[in-house]
């Protein structure tokens, strides 16, 4: 991070970004970091904070910038957030907020417990919590995979 801003910030497009801002706070605990509105109150730009990370939330502003809800549920990316709190309770919070749970919480071979859900406009979110700290060698042995890491 430089000047308090992450080096990488994902931008998500919604048909109704104001509803998305409210939902992301209620479902996942995101907090509004910045709102820019025009003199008539139209949302021009917004950012939400989750821990030390940011996302931008905006509206469909060109033919290439569309919500999954605006293009038949298609998407080219998914979002992963990592939490330090009870993953099962987090999943229930998201479900109660209206998330469609597409994969219930399950412990993965690499030691994280994850679930996947769709938000009201169809963006797919994966939420993970480390429940067992493992080395790449340990998860390779457990799962029969080969992990290559960048050299320090």
Residue 152 lies in a domain: no
CATH code for the domain of 133 = 3.30.720.110
- Do 54 and 85 sit in the same domain of this protein? no
Percent of the chain surpassing pLDDT 90: 76
Residues 18-44 pLDDT 10s: 999 999 999 999 999 999 999 998 898
The pTM assigned to this predicted structure is: 0.88
The continuous run of DSSP H or E covering 22 comes out as helix 17-28
Q: Which domain holds residue 112?
A: 78-143
pLDDT digits (tens, 9 = 90+) for 90-103: 999 999 999 999 99
Q: Is residue 21 exposed (0-12), middle (13-18) or buried (19+ Cβ within 10 Å)? A: buried
Q: Is the pLDDT of residue 1 over 50?
A: no
- Residues 88, 55 share a domain: no
The answer to whether residue 117 scores a pLDDT higher than 70 is: yes
């Amino acid at each position: 991070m430089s000047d308090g801003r992450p080096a990488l910030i994902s931008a998500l497009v919604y048909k109704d970004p104001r509803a998305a801002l409210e939902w992301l706070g209620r479902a996942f605990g995101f907090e509004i970091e910045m709102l820019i509105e025009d003199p008539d109150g139209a949302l021009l730009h917004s950012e939400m904070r989750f821990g030390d990370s940011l996302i931008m939330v905006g509206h469909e502003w060109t033919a290439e910038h569309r919500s999954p809800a605006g293009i038949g549920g298609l998407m080219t990316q998914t979002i992963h957030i990592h939490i330090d709190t009870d993953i099962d309770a987090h999943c229930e919070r998201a479900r109660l907020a209206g998330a469609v749970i597409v994969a219930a919480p399950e412990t993965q071979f690499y030691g994280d417990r994850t679930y996947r859900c769709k938000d009201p406009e169809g963006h797919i979110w994966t939420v993970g919590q480390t429940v067992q700290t493992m080395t790449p060698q340990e998860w390779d042995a457990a799962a029969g995979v080969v992990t290559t890491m960048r050299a320090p």
